[in-house]
Amino acid sequence: MKYDREKEVEFLIERELKPNGITDERVLAALYKVKREKFITESLRDRAYGNYPLPIGEGQTISQPYIIGLMTQALEIKSSDKILEIGTGSGYQAAILAELSSVVYTVERIETLSLKARTNLYSQGYNNVIIILGDGTAGLSEYAPYDKIMVTAASPGIPDSLMSQLKNGGKMVIPVGSRFVQDLQLVEKALNGRIYKSSLCGCRFVPLIGKEGWDD
Ligand code: SAH
């Protein structure tokens, strides 16, 4: 049967995302627009819009669309926002963020993935994404502070560097917990610098490996 992207993405949005609380119009429009099939290997293309994670090589995965929607929606991104993403992976989440904000800095520790993400993003015109190779647990002090921070790998705690690189009035989403199961946390830094944390849901991410994360 011929692959019908529009039908697949509409089914995902109407049947899996909206009924489960992903309702922000800008977020849904970005999920509709960004071609998930371009960020995964050709052989998985007909599964691009299933509501499950997919392998992207090097033992890493791209999150399920529901989690991507939930994390993106929680950040309440404005078109003027400067965003930091930790865990570039395929570059798919960075593309979603790039649709909604002004600039996205994304850090990945595995070179092959970073290079592939670069091709994926730039071939599709995402020139407002800056791709950096390195240990994202230390954040990216050169361009700090950030309006929003998204961590797409599981951390034993909230790295101090990331907390300090978040603007007052900013928000961060990060999976915090053990190596195998985590709590997806929304961290809000008030204008006076006070920190408020809430839990979005249980989740399971690949580990954040680095100085302020897990050991290799
Ligand atoms: N956001 C990605 C999926 C990320 S999977 C996407 O949309 O495809 C998590 C990624 O975090 C993996 O690629 C992993 O290599 C990376 N990662 C793990 N620890 C890291 C660290 N300390 N710094 C940067 N990236 C890290």
Residue whose Cα lies nearest atom 13 of ligand 1: it is: 89
Q: Which domains does the chain have, with CATH numbers?
A: 5-203 (3.40.50.150)
Provide the greatest CA pair distance for the chain.
57
Is residue 178 part of the annotated active site? The answer reads: no
206 lines ligand 1 (CB under 6 A): yes
Ligand 1: which of 36, 158, 208 to mutate, judged by most atoms within 8 Å of the beta carbon? 208
Model pLDDT, residue 95: 98
Residue whose Cα lies nearest atom 11 of ligand 1: it is: 87
136 lines ligand 1 (CB under 6 A): yes
- For residue 149, give the H/E element and its range: strand 146-151
CA of 192 to the centre of ligand 1 (A): 31
Rounded distance, CA 184 to CA 108, Å? 20
Length, in residues, of the chain: 216
Q: List all residues 6 or more positions away from 122 whose beta carbon is below 8 Å from its beta carbon.
A: none
Instruction: Give the angle 201-31-109 at the CA atoms, nearest 5°.
Output: 70
Alpha-carbon dihedral of residues 136, 97, 174, 205, nearest 10 degrees? Answer: -80
Model confidence pTM above 0.95: yes
Query: Mean pLDDT in each 10-residue stretch from start to end of the chain (216 residues)?
Result: 89 98 98 97 95 96 97 98 98 98 98 98 98 98 98 98 98 97 98 98 97 96
